Structure 1
Amino acid sequence: MLQALWLAPSAADDIIKAPDFAGGSIRLLKGEQQTPLNFDVRFAQTPEQHRFGLMFSPPLASQNGMLFVFEDSAPRSFWMKNTPIALDMLFFAADGRLVTVIANAAPHSLTPRRSKLPARYVLELAGGEASRLSLGAGTRLQLPLIID
């Protein structure tokens, strides 16, 4: 009996710990007028952070999200595994141009959501936020990024 207790995994082993994410602000420039919109984000920069993303996240406040930063531009694919909230995914080219918007990706969906063109940055926002803010053609991610 004692051996069975010794071999049983502890409850602590089942806890999934999120990686540490740097936080900061980014700016999107919207439409022909390049109207500035500021967002508070967490930056996902490492492979571990990319894998975890917004898994297990509580609802996001307006103009809050996560910016995935990759070393290169490439076709990107995201899913919603273990993500309990709907998300908008905005894919940006290396020069900051918005190249794809995925609206209201369903919570927990394993369906891949893909960029139409190579992307270096992906901004995840609360589902419906891109439409509410009219983020679409002509939107740019202001570069360079300043990440602490």
Structure 2
Amino acid sequence: MLREATTDDVHLMLSWRNQETNREVSKTSHVITAQEHARWWAATREDPTRRLLTYLRDGVPCGAVTFFDLRLDGPRTGSWGFYLDADGLAARGETLSAWLEVMREAVDHAFDELALDRLDGEVLGHNTVVRQMNRRFRFVEGTARREVSDGREIILIPISLERANRRRR
């Protein structure tokens, strides 16, 4: 289940985002400080083009889904990303099922709640598992580009999913 993120969720999100598994597949790979995270949270809450949701699994918060760059007039588009409590889910043997569930719920939210026509995102080139999962959900990859982030060269691959192409349950 997805719900709006609350102030109580913020410390959990920071701990999940700083897990090594999540940093390895993120555009910014450094450990995020409490101050940096607080600035991000304040900006996110005030930005009308953003939505931050908490993913609950059996009632327990274990992930964050963010929608950003929302354009809700004209063609309705937006970008998204997510990360999970990788360590906690792995310890419970729930990683794959949670991953599938959060992706389904995020795509449903984008098209059913936000009424987007197209959902965009990015994935790191080396993140083959997520790229494979994105294809399963019918995301289409664009042309890769190189970028420097946190002092490392990364390959970013844009992805998009049109409303008409989404996989229905």
TM-score by length of 1: 0.33
Q: Which has the higher helix share?
A: 2
Higher relative contact order (CA 8 A, sep 6+): 1
Q: Which has the higher strand share?
A: 1
